[in-house]
Amino acid sequence: MATSDVSATWADYHARRRLFWASVWLGPWLALGIGALWLVERHGLHGLLWPLLAWLALVAWTGARWQASRCPRCGHRFFHARPFLLALRAPRCAHCALPKD
């Protein structure tokens, strides 16, 4: 791969990682804020269910996108598909052993 392709692939990897962690940390605050301000007044505590389920779906989607990122060296998926989200802890590419950082 060319140097620009490698740096673009790493930039995509880091963007996916930032999006995942932003959804993990900011999602509950947004879900609880929306739920507490609007839905709880109308539906009671059950009004928190839908925003929290939407947050969980967002975390699963961003985690799946991060887990599907490609390795800059070999072009295969950097992580194994299973176990879901736990494979993100792998320090190296699953195929060519390129270190993450």
77 sits in the region (left: phi over 0; alpha: psi -120 to 50; else beta) called beta
Does the pLDDT of residue 51 top 70, yes or no?
Answer: yes
Structure tokens belonging to residue 18: 């930032």
Beta strand residue intervals within 2-100, DSSP E: none
- Give per-residue pLDDT as tens, 19-43: 999 999 998 888 777 666 666 667 6
Output the pLDDT for position 18: 95
Q: Where are the beta strands (DSSP E) in 1-101?
A: none
Peptide bond into 83 cis (omega under 30): yes
Phi, psi of 94 (to 5 degrees): -70, -20
Q: Output 57 or 83, whichever has higher pLDDT.
A: 57
On the question of pLDDT at 89 being above 90, the answer is: no
